[in-house]
Amino acid sequence: MDCFSQSVPGLQTVVSVVQAISAIAIVCLTIWLARSTNTYAGLTRESLEVARRQFEREWLPYWHLSLDLDTLDMRNEVRLHIRNLSRNSARVTHLFLRVESDIGSERHWPFDSAFAGLESHILTVTLPVQQILEDKLLGGSWQGGVEVAVGFVVAGTDEPRPSAWFPFNVAVRDSLIIGFRPKVPYIAREK
């Protein structure tokens, strides 16, 4: 019995050391598990955001806007071609115009037209374009950039959204719009 009583303090020391090592291992594993869970949650959030953006891209209309000039009868009417290039329908609620170099020049006009998928409409926008340029004309002439966008509501929702801006170069002479040309981005290439 003497041998057993002498080994009890040694055994208690070993048990205490094992418990301390176990506690440290549990703390380390808990920290590792918390970090792993946090990483997994972050990746899940990012994956969900990518899926949401992809879903929106698939269901939102894809607009193409172009301006042209009808010079018949010397009226120089500006026509806006609005094309829905997707298969999803939407209702266009507003027309937005702004002068490219003047941030505060953005104006909008109400417009209400339903677009089925792969459908287009032509709208005469001479008056809105003249209104947006009226304070830019110096001696009746001006040349610069105008951007066009539409506001729309997707079928089945009430949330209005803006389309992307479409830039155009515009020329005005003697207070008549004489030309529109899409503004094409510069493409650099090595010689």
For the stretch 44-95, pLDDT in tens is 999 999 998 888 777 788 899 998 888 776 678 899 999 998 888 899 999 9
Model confidence, pTM: 0.68
Mark whether 66 and 102 lie in a shared domain.
yes
Residue 54 lies in domain: 1-59
pLDDT band for 27, please (50, 70, 90 cuts). very high
CA–CA dist 124, 88 (Å, integer): 24
Residues linked to residue 177 through DSSP beta bridges, in sequence order: 172
Tell me, yes or no, whether 189 lies in a domain. Answer: no
d(CA 18, CA 96): 73
Q: Are residues 31 and 75 in the same domain?
A: no
- Identify whether residues 44 and 65 lie together within a single domain: no
Q: Which residues pair with 150 in a beta bridge?
A: 95
The predicted pLDDT at position 156 comes to 77
Total number of domains constituting the chain: 2
Domain final residue, candidates 42, 59, 76? 59
* SS3 state at 88: coil
Same domain, yes or no, for 53 and 66?
no
Q: Which tops the pLDDT comparison, 74 or 22?
A: 22
Q: Are strands 160-162 and 142-154 parallel, antiparallel or unpaired?
A: antiparallel
Reported as a single tens digit per residue, the pLDDT across 91-146 is: 999 999 999 888 788 999 998 888 888 889 998 898 999 899 888 888 888 999 99
In a domain, 10, yes or no: yes
Question: 40, 59, 78: which is the final residue of a domain?
Answer: 59
What integer pLDDT is reported at residue 169 of this predicted model? Answer: 92
